[in-house]
Amino acid sequence: MRRLPDWIPGAVLLLAAVGSGLALWQIYRPESSEPLVGPPRSDYFLVDFELVALDEAGQESFRVTGPLLSRHPHLGTISIDQPRFRFPDHEEQAWLARADRAWAAADGEELRLDGDVALDGPASAEDGPLAFRTAQLTIFPKARRASSEQRVTFSSPHSILAGRGFRADMETRRFQLLNEVTGHYDTPVSASHR
């Protein structure tokens, strides 16, 4: 019987050690985790809050209340559920706005209201109160302007107007309906014949 060379048992032992090491590494290697998908967690949130935003001069730019406010951790934007806004004008009166939800830019210069939006202007001696209803509205508090590309219905004590596309100057109480405008006017003469 022939004898095996002395190096073969060492080589077999080395191959067995390498094979068992690879088998153990396969069994116990860490699984790669899936990356987190979805929006990042808020920096902070407020529940049943009231917030007053001030302009550069320290005057009230707008006030908002609601059941929930949350801030995006990286962008600094704010999301608000069921917001109720108050925008004071130069005559110490206020425009009021409400919606299902709102988004505010980090600098507070743009507000986007979405879902069942109502914007109500203060009453004046000539016009009475102004009421605007739409699905989406963007408000620029510093410029005291509002706009929408959606269908908007306007009503006052003597008229109802509707149209697609809307621009409003909240200081001067002037507004424009841009397209597909329809209206109903109730003049004092027609009101007396009812």
Does 12 fall in a domain? no
Check residue 190 and give left, alpha or beta (phi > 0: left; psi -120 to 50: alpha). alpha
Does 148 fall in a domain? yes
Does 143 fall in a domain? yes
Predicted confidence at residue 33, as pLDDT, reads 65
pLDDT for 191 beyond 60: no
Give the number of domains in the chain.
1
Predicted confidence at residue 118, as pLDDT, reads 95
CATH of the domain at 60: 2.60.450.10
Does 165 fall in a domain? yes
Read off the pLDDT of residues 60-90 as tens digits, 9 standing for 90 and up: 888 999 999 999 888 889 999 999 999 987 7
Read off the pLDDT of residues 170-182 as tens digits, 9 standing for 90 and up: 888 888 989 998 8
Q: Hey, what's the torsion of the CAs at 116, 108, 178, 158, to 10 degrees?
A: 60
pTM of the model: 0.71
Split at pLDDT 50, 70, 90, the class of 32 is: low
Predicted confidence at residue 20, as pLDDT, reads 84
* Rounded Cα distance, 9 and 116, in Å: 83
Does 23 fall in a domain? no
Split at pLDDT 50, 70, 90, the class of 39 is: low
Contact 144, 171 (CB under 8 A): yes
The residue range of the domain holding 64 is: 45-192
Predicted confidence at residue 119, as pLDDT, reads 94
The full DSSP string for 162-174 is: EEEEEEEETTTTE
